Chain A
Amino acid sequence: MSFWTDIPSLSRADLRDLKKGIDASFREFSKNYGEGIEAFFDPLYFFLVKLEKLLIAAPWPIILILVGGLAYLGSRSWKLALGSMLAFVVIGYFGMWKDMMATISLISVATIMCIAVGIPIGILMSRYNRVQSAITPILDLMQTIPIFVYLLPVVMLLGIGRVPGLIAVCVYAVPPVIRLTNLGIRLVDKETLEAADAFGSNYRQKLFSVQLPLALPNIFAGVNQTIMMALAMVVIASMIGVKGLGMPVLQSIQNQYLTLGLMNGLAIVALAIIFDRVSQKYGQRLQAHRYGADHE
């Protein structure tokens, strides 16, 4: 009778013992290997700390020139460069300079790491179908699993602060660049590849001279999405003690400080728009030759 109404399940005691057992073995693992794992990430940690300190200590005009210069180099657009500088001045004027520098240091390192890890994985996935079918579910998991589920174990291993924050950001932000690199390479015309084969190219030549250049629009779309998602994670990262624009947002959520929340939220949006426009323009410029457009 109860078979039809109650789904067969472990008894409460068994379930409890199972949970307790897994928790205990994780604690044991953290006790034994935590220090080693933390030491492994130490170089990254100290790099993050140094970068943040450098950005905060640097005189603001230099940062502004740097921002304008990078924006111009990326986009070759005076409008964008000036707009970026103006946004930075406004953010600084409203007292969010330090937090912004902390956020920028985390996001830029996270983005570089994601790209460095993501593009090779994407290439592997495009080359071997088996790798693709193995990695796709992992990417699905990374994008959907509630963040705190993996964040707390990571914090138990590495402590609160920047490194777990970086890991959290990357876990969430790396899938687009992997997916779109894979997709971009797979979408390259078969005929083009046949032509490359006919010229006797080996795999490496085909990859670097034909596939990657032709896949660039997609890869850049992926990089762009990765940056956007990394910025979206700033507030979540603050929940494990990462300094930056996310902290005041958290504070304002709890206390209904509407203005504080809005200001810091808009500062994150401004950063996102700057990163987005500059990287998109850069991507477009890289492909300008395909459409026979003039190089500006």
Chain B
Amino acid sequence: MKKVIFSTIAAAAVTLSGQAFAACGSISMADMNWPSATLMANVDRIILEEGYGCEVEMVAGATTTTFASMDAKGKPDVAPELWTNAMAVALGVAMDEGRLHSARKMPIQDLGEGWWVPDYVLAKNPDLKTVLDILERPDLFPAKEDPSKGEFIGCPAGWGCQLSNINLFRAFEMEKKGWILVDPGSQAGLDASMAKAVERGDNWFGYYWSPTEPVGRYNMKLMDFGVPFAGSDNWDGCVALAEQECDDPKPSSWTVSMVHTIVTDNFKTSAPAEAMDYFSKRIYPGPVMGQMLVYMGDNQADGSDAAIEFLQSHEDVWTTWVSADVAAKVKASL
């Protein structure tokens, strides 16, 4: 494989003028330790190497450590999927001072936490547009314990999201509307309850997050809450706290998880402008990312295998991110 890549680079270097190549040089890329991020890092690596002639070195990473290293040392140059809620302030400072840049906000569609239903629920009930609509129909999600009530699967005991779910359950007055909140006890319980319902074609309504393999495998749809985000005072000062510390939670959509593709100033100035342009166009549609995560899970594929699979099977997606010229080069290398 390596040989093939090297020979294509060599061949390309000979045949093409290579002005972009010289400009790119060697860059380092954070290869995070969860599936969607390692996939994105490897796709970026192949496109930057084959399309823009960079030399890419992969550096293992995790959210806080990678950010700290980028902020302080300017290495690695690129973090394809950085969840920045926990470091919003520090990131803001680094961006103001021009050390770091966001090459792409929200590189994956539908990412983040929220309330999900399987796609067939929406197909069969086209009037369900938002969470508010679903809340009027507890009869569609009958609880086994008491079929006259609707069942909402919350977040496992002890997770931060458990508190938010409990408080939103109160804020939307779901008990009065005929719902019960079920605690699945663990992620395994949560996953299995979703798997069981979807395998049998039953309706399911509950908390989950994306990008994740179950969301892709079971074609889960993130529901719009039907109400706007009611401010961070409401969220951080009430909804995210324990029930006793939150007297009057207001209905709100889930707090937005900010995810960026972050690059260092060094990358922005030294890499070809087309590479920055590539990042700015690079958005993975939610279902495509879901399919890829299922592929990775089923085949125990690592990031580089999955990246090649993505480039081969989802050409229609990634070719819109790059120029025809670059697309042809990348395709030739596969």
Chains A and B are bound partners: yes
- Where the two chains meet, the residues of A that have a C-beta atom closer than 8 Å to any C-beta of B are 12, 16, 20, 27, 30-31, 34-35, 45, 49, 148, 151-152, 155-157, 159-161, 238-243, 247-248, 250-255
A16: which B residues are within 8 A, CB to CB? 299-300
With A156-B192, A250-B157 known as contacts, the answer to whether A20 contacts B185 (CB < 8 A) is no
Q: Does B237 contact A (CB under 8 A)?
A: no
A49 to B162, alpha carbons, bound, how many Å?
24
| Inter-subunit contact B182/A160 (CB<8 Å) | yes
A253: which B residues are within 8 A, CB to CB? 158
B192: which A residues are within 8 A, CB to CB? 152, 155-156, 160, 240
Q: Which residue of chain A has the shortest Cβ distance to B143 in the bound complex?
A: A161
Q: Which residue of chain A has the shortest Cβ distance to B191 in the bound complex?
A: A152
Q: Does B184 contact A (CB under 8 A)?
A: yes
Given contacts A156-B195, A238-B185, A241-B184, 6 further A-B contacts (CB under 8 A): A30-B200, A45-B144, A49-B145, A151-B188, A241-B185, A250-B158
Q: Which residue of chain B has the shortest Cβ distance to A16 in the bound complex?
A: B300
A148 to B192, alpha carbons, bound, how many Å?
12
A280 to B260, alpha carbons, bound, how many Å?
63
| Inter-subunit contact B200/A31 (CB<8 Å) | yes
- The proximity string for B residues 147-180 relative to A, scoring 1 for CB distances below 8 Å and 0 otherwise, is 0000000001111001000000000000000000
Indicate which residue in A31, A45, A241 contacts B189 across the interface (CB closer than 8 Å). A241
Indicate which residue in A49, A155, A239, A243 contacts B193 across the interface (CB closer than 8 Å). A155
Considering only residues 178-223 of chain B, those with a C-beta below 8 Å from chain A are: 182-186, 188-189, 192-193, 195-196, 199-200
| Inter-subunit contact A247/B157 (CB<8 Å) | yes
Indicate which residue in B158, B185, B196 contacts A159 across the interface (CB closer than 8 Å). B196
A-B contact count (CB 8 A): 80
Q: Which residue of chain B has the shortest Cβ distance to A154 in the bound complex?
A: B192
Q: Does B298 contact A (CB under 8 A)?
A: yes
| Inter-subunit contact A159/B299 (CB<8 Å) | no
With A159-B193, A160-B192, A241-B193 known as contacts, the answer to whether A251 contacts B200 (CB < 8 A) is no
A155 to B156, alpha carbons, bound, how many Å?
15
- The 4 A-B residue pairs whose C-beta atoms are closest, nearest first, are A254-B158, A155-B192, A239-B186, A251-B158
Q: Which residue of chain B has the shortest Cβ distance to A253 in the bound complex?
A: B158
| Inter-subunit contact A251/B162 (CB<8 Å) | yes
With A155-B189, A240-B186 known as contacts, the answer to whether A251 contacts B199 (CB < 8 A) is no
| Inter-subunit contact A247/B199 (CB<8 Å) | no
Q: How far is the CB of A36 from chain B (nearest CB, A)?
A: 11
- The proximity string for B residues 111-147 relative to A, scoring 1 for CB distances below 8 Å and 0 otherwise, is 0000000000000000000000000000000001100
A242: which B residues are within 8 A, CB to CB? 185
| Inter-subunit contact B200/A239 (CB<8 Å) | no
| Inter-subunit contact B144/A161 (CB<8 Å) | yes
| Inter-subunit contact B157/A34 (CB<8 Å) | no
A152: which B residues are within 8 A, CB to CB? 188, 192
Q: Which residue of chain B has the shortest Cβ distance to A249 in the bound complex?
A: B157
B156: which A residues are within 8 A, CB to CB? 250
Q: How far is the CB of A258 from chain B (nearest CB, A)?
A: 13
| Inter-subunit contact A240/B189 (CB<8 Å) | yes
A222 to B208, alpha carbons, bound, how many Å?
43
With A34-B200, A157-B196, A160-B193 known as contacts, the answer to whether A239 contacts B188 (CB < 8 A) is yes
A34: which B residues are within 8 A, CB to CB? 196, 199-200
Q: How far is the CB of B197 from chain A (nearest CB, A)?
A: 8
A-B contact pairs, 13 of them (CB 8 A): A155-B192, A156-B192, A159-B196, A160-B182, A160-B184, A160-B193, A240-B185, A241-B184, A250-B157, A251-B158, A254-B157, A254-B158, A255-B158
